[in-house]
Amino acid sequence: MSKFKNPGQVKNRTNILPGLDVRGEGGYIVVSPSLHASGKRYEWELSSRPLEVPLSDMPEWLLRMIVEPVQDKPARKPDNYWVKIIQGVGEGERNMSAASLAGYLLGHGITAPIAYELMLLWNERNDPPESIEVIETTFHSILKRDLKRLKGRRRA
């Protein structure tokens, strides 16, 4: 966990990237000496003692990622769209649905190997199922696009 000074414009946000959440204005975290449900008390890691280790300035690239809205974020699809897809689709809908499902899984932080296995299981519900080769090609295409997007966000 990294801690930075809040320059004043940072709010609470979750899932900025997989595993990246921010607590800013109005947010809170549980810290020492709070009591955990197990009965033990939280303790500071040696490198994180707030009275002994000063907070660093937030890197500019991270501040931009947190504060600036994503311009190219597509509109969220309604739940019934996903329900229809996970029930299986017919010929003519499989490739577009596979691309959507792959993007959804990867975009929600599901690791690539697990997302791919879920795609294969989903494909068994399709009538008829798509070939494994087409599912694999579609998945890798979306994965490549997703990796480019994440790489670009880290450079910003």
Q: pLDDT tens across 89-115, in order? A: 999 999 999 999 999 999 888 999 999
Task: Report the number of distinct structural domains present in the chain.
Answer: 2
Q: Is residue 73 part of a domain?
A: no
Residue 56 has, within 13 A of its CA and on its CB side, a CA count of 10
More confident residue, 14 or 74: 14
Cα–Cα dist 23/64, whole Å: 15
Range of the domain at 140: 79-155
Same domain for 64 and 91, yes or no, is: no
Select, from the ranges 18-22, 51-55, 105-109, the one with the highest average predicted confidence (pLDDT). Answer: 105-109
First to last CA, the chain: 21
**0.75 surpassed by pTM:** no
27 with 1, same domain: the answer is yes
The three state secondary structure string of 45-112 is: CHHHCCCCCCCECCCHHHHHHHHCCCCCCCCCCCHHHHHHHHCCCECCCHHHHHHHHHHHHHHCCCCH
Q: Quick one: 107 and 135 in the same domain? A: yes
150 lies in the same domain as 88? yes
